[in-house]
Amino acid sequence: MAQLIQQLINGVSIGSVYALMAVGYSLVYSIMNFSNFAHGGVIMVGSYLGFYLLKAAKLPFPTALAGAALGAALLAVIVERIAYRPLRTRSAPFLYFIISAMGASMFIENFVVATIGPTFKTYPAVFSRMPFEIGPLYVGRIDVLIFVTAAVCLIGLVYFIDRTKLGKAVQATSFNQRAASLMGVNTGLVVTLVFAIGGLLAGVAGVLFGMKYTVYPQMGGITIKSFIAAVFGGLGSLPGAVIGSLLLGVIETMVSGYFSSNYRDLISFTLLIAVLVFRPIGLMGKVTEEKA
């Protein structure tokens, strides 16, 4: 029983990081109806920003975390302006958006390799590596930090979406962009806001992931897992993205703990295929006319 609870704790920790990543996918999908595959590059840049703000600039952790989140948000907005807005103004097919997203992701990754280098970097020890001991259980301090930070960010996002005028504008635009525009909503501003929020959460996720593991240019590939989680929970659904992420984190941890880590990715992609075949809208998704 103790081993089961230990695996659940580990799964919730990595699932919380997946949730921060997956929410960015779901936000963009809810507005633009396509999957932003450049999101991984934003997460990677946020992780590097946090690393250099902590190690080179010697900033306190809260300041470095905020700086990395803001930098990632700025990058996400720039990507939207350069890679997606010209396509939106021309009403381009959604396939063009996906191609542009992949190109932006490859550009960001290779730019980091060319300027910073391909080597792995380890975050400085911000917190003690000694875990909390609760009977036979061990809870890492970084795991507690990840869970608390993710919970605060996601609760703040829900409050923003449900309780503020800008949040209502986001909801209206996600429901029907043309109707929202006719009712006076500045849909261009809403799109920029959604990318900024997704980038902000991506920066936080990048820092937390980098602290728990390491930082490298190809780490954006981990967002494939958050994409699976978003599809599992239901693309376009924020609660679905969170629930799907936590479930995926727990499933992966259980597979690694009780079988082998070699099966972890196999189970993840099998889950993705099963969801797409048997329930394409996910656990909490809504039926749409076109998915990309």
Q: Which amino acid belongs to residue 282?
A: G
What value does the mean pLDDT of the chain take?
87
Return phi, psi of residue 133, to 5°.
-105, 120
Q: Report the 10 Å Cβ neighbour count for 278.
A: 7
**CB-based contact 271:228 (threshold 8 Å):** yes
| 104, two tokens | 């932006």
What CATH number does domain 2-121+135-278 carry, 1.10.10, 1.10.3470, 1.10.3910, 1.20.120?
1.10.3470
Q: What is the pLDDT of residues 225-239, one digit of tens each?
A: 888 888 888 777 788
Q: What is the pLDDT of residue 71?
A: 97
Query: Across residues 122-140, what is the average pLDDT?
Result: 81
Q: What is the pLDDT of residue 66?
A: 96
Residue 132 pLDDT level (bands cut at 50, 70, 90): confident
What does each C-alpha distance from 68 to 57, 61, 199, 201 come to in angstroms? 12, 10, 10, 10
Q: What is the Cβ-side half-sphere exposure of residue 84, based on CA atoms within 13 angstroms?
A: 27
Residue 139 pLDDT level (bands cut at 50, 70, 90): confident
Domain boundaries, the chain: 2-121+135-278
219 pLDDT higher than 70: yes
Please name which of 274, 268, 200 lies closest in space to residue 23, comparing C-alpha atoms: 200
199 pLDDT higher than 70: yes
Q: What is the DSSP letter of 218?
A: G
Return phi, psi of residue 134, to 5°.
-120, 90
Q: Report pTM.
A: 0.88
| 16, two tokens | 């919380």
